[in-house]
Structure 1
Amino acid sequence: MTLNRQWLLKARPHGMIGPDNFEYTETPIPQIGDGEVLVKNQYLSFDPTQRNWMVDRPGYLPPVGIGEVMRAGSVAEVVESKHPDFKPGEQVQTTGCWQDFAVVAPGQGPMGVNKLPPGVSPEMMLSILGITGMTAYFGLLDHGQPEDGETVLVSGAAGATGSVVGQIAKLKGCRTIGIAGGEKKCAWLTDVAKFDGAIDYKSEDVSERIGALCPNKWDIFFDNVAGPILEAALNHLNLYSRVVMCGGIANYNNIEPVPGPNNLMNIVTNRGRMQGFIILDYLPRAMEAIEALVGWVSAGDIVYEVDIQEGFDNIPSTLQRLYTGENFGKQLLRI
């Protein structure tokens, strides 16, 4: 291969994201300087927050510019190195973006570049041990602060983050209820991930089912969705409850802002707490989460699903799967 295939951001999204927002191009393979590493992407990670990176507004990372390569996490192979810590043939995790080749260096970009631990597959590194697994770990334990016997409600529960949140909550002695879309995902939650109950938002009245499955209300709500599901959840919170705000995928593709929950005062009257967080703030503690997650996975205490699409041409359509609900578990693509 002598050229670097790339997908560029062509137009900012207006409504549902789609392949028309991106443009294919080919450029020369980049050259590296001292302290840099040339990598060839093997797997790409797809995350709901990528939709936010495409919007021209301030955020925790700068927006992707029109004509720039679309940002994404990846697992890649080192092709050439002018850094003493990296050798050709090694596998690394980095922000390789939607392209074949990328120039990376330690300490640069959102995640820098890190070698995969021995025995860890690319699929594992980009899912349970990656951003989504760490988000579940720190979001629940640092912000939710679960205690034995409490009830934990999780939206987006069959997703890469939500499914791990629920299982960690079970390990901490909590009763866990998940909200997901469709019979297949709900069955997986109770039969495989061992949630205590599941609510199908596509076919059930969410508020009614929360009341039925949480007769003593909930103590922690880990929210990946926002929108009407957040409002439904706020009808059933306990005294001193905690709402962990992780994402809002229900609203990411809206053209116009939608009204917020009309029952936020329930947080006040029940002395609750609602807090957002960004996983990048926790990267210095990454090994804490990785070591715990490896232990739980090795012991069979946590299971996870990976949805792998194939082929460079399918990169834009794979991102869209996150917002249509087609993906099941962590969405990846093998180049």
Structure 2
Amino acid sequence: MPTNRQVLLDNRPKGEATASNFKLVTSETPALQDGQVLVRHHYLSLDPYMRGRMNEGKSYAQPQPLGQVMQGGTVGEVVESRNPKFAVGDKVQGMGGWQEYSVVDGNQAGMLRKLDTTHVPISQYLGAVGMPGVTAWYGLVKIIEPKEGQTIVVSAASGAVGSAVGVLAKQRGARAIGVAGGPDKCKYVTDELGFDACIDYRQHKDARSLAQALKEACPNGIDGYFENVGGLVLDAVMLQANAFSRIAMCGMIAGYNGEPIPMAYPQLILTNRMRVEGFIVSEHMEVWPEALKELGTLVATGKLRPRETVAQGLDAAPEAFLGLLKGRNFGKQLVKLA
């Protein structure tokens, strides 16, 4: 059995996360038992939600245990099998974590999913055709419920979730307006993803200024907002929101280090009779087949062209993760392991 390198959560962050919170170790991979398969991970997914799990406080998921492999999504290849459902060479997706290999019980439902990489690259199953894509699909389709001609705004629009939100909205006849950080990301959002406009939030010092830019991009107001960041962007959107508008609360990256996120205009929720709903996509497994079918088709046909930022090797995972939290990535953040 191969030697396995792993990244553990060594200690909990005090404020901002740092590389010293993680520890790289080497372990021996155990021999397979009946029903188990050995997976060599090709790519590891890095996602903002992982920052929240590093804390010990109350959240929607249990905290990441100290001294254990950091949890996270992986795609890879079966290299040894003692399970008739999986053959050597099968491409699979699972939650293998921050390590090069994982031993998985192939009989446990939902632990491993076989992948068809004929038309969709394997890495995309961690992004547009994986959890981030389904997150976008659920928040847009089930909470925002866009109608033809309505205006949908999404923050972090160049990221793995945001990019899919805009393309899915356009497929439903809505206008898609992105908010992203920097001219390169905004250009990608409009030129490659097909959004109607994209606003660089870094060009605005306060919510009023950003709200004015949103007003110009959204002359008929905002009917739906897909929230990934909180803070300044949420305040600006609130100022341009229409009556009976909907907000899908997906992420609040502005507060992931534990800072409070004040909301400047909460009274507008009442004034505009707004629907504001938080959601966790793993609680809605019933929509995954429908969502993945649409997302896979969009990627295979080139209508959704996700960007990826790929760090090389397990050693690079902590710094790549910290960069993700600061917006240094462009599109989906991955670590290539094989």
TM class by shorter chain equals over 0.9
CA drift of 1:259 comes to 4.3
Q: How does 1:167-316 map to 2 (within 5 A)?
A: 167-204=167-204, 205-254=209-258, 257-316=259-318
CA drift of 1:250 comes to 1.3
For residues 15-37 of structure 1, the C-alpha deviation after alignment (integer angstroms, 9 at most, x for no partner) is 22221110111111123323222
Matching residue's letter, 2:232:
P
Paired with 2:121 and 2:304, the residues of 1 have a C-alpha distance of 17
Paired with 2:226 and 2:155, the residues of 1 have a C-alpha distance of 6
CA drift of 1:106 comes to 4.5
- C-alpha root-mean-square deviation of aligned residues, in Å? 1.6
Paired with 1:115 and 1:214, the residues of 2 have a C-alpha distance of 42
Matching residue's letter, 2:312:
E
Q: Give the corresponding residue for 1:112.
A: 111
Question: Structure 2: any 5+ residue segments left out of the alignment?
Answer: none
Paired with 1:129 and 1:90, the residues of 2 have a C-alpha distance of 18
Q: Could you state the TM-score of these two structures normalised by the residue count of structure 1?
A: 0.94
Q: Could you state the TM-score of these two structures normalised by the residue count of structure 2?
A: 0.94
CA drift of 1:233 comes to 1.0
* Closer/same/farther in 2, CA of residues 107 and 287 from structure 1, 3 Å limit: farther
Q: Which stretch of structure 1 is more off in the superposition, 16-25 or 325-334?
A: 16-25
Q: Which stretch of structure 1 is more off in the superposition, 203-212 or 154-163?
A: 203-212
The answer to whether the Cα contact below 8 Å between 2:138 and 2:287 also exists between their aligned partners in 1 is no
Paired with 1:141 and 1:57, the residues of 2 have a C-alpha distance of 31
Matching residue's letter, 2:146:
P
* Closer/same/farther in 2, CA of residues 64 and 322 from structure 1, 3 Å limit: same
The answer to whether the Cα contact below 8 Å between 2:230 and 2:261 also exists between their aligned partners in 1 is no
The answer to whether the Cα contact below 8 Å between 1:77 and 1:89 also exists between their aligned partners in 2 is yes
Tell me the number of residue pairs that the alignment of Structure 1 and Structure 2 aligns: 332
Question: Structure 1: any 5+ residue segments left out of the alignment?
Answer: none
The alignment partner of 1:212 has SS state of helix
CA drift of 1:274 comes to 0.1
CA drift of 1:108 comes to 5.1
The alignment partner of 1:295 has SS state of helix
The alignment partner of 1:215 has SS state of coil
Q: Give the corresponding residue for 1:137.
A: 137
Q: Give the corresponding residue for 1:44.
A: 44
Q: How does 1:51-200 map to 2 (within 5 A)?
A: 51-106=51-106, 111-119=110-118, 120-200=120-200
Paired with 1:299 and 1:76, the residues of 2 have a C-alpha distance of 23
Paired with 1:269 and 1:107, the residues of 2 have a C-alpha distance of 52
Matching residue's letter, 2:229:
V
The answer to whether the Cα contact below 8 Å between 2:86 and 2:106 also exists between their aligned partners in 1 is no
The answer to whether the Cα contact below 8 Å between 1:22 and 1:316 also exists between their aligned partners in 2 is yes
| Identity across matched positions, percent | 39
Q: Which stretch of structure 1 is more off in the superposition, 219-228 or 285-294?
A: 285-294
* Closer/same/farther in 2, CA of residues 289 and 301 from structure 1, 3 Å limit: same
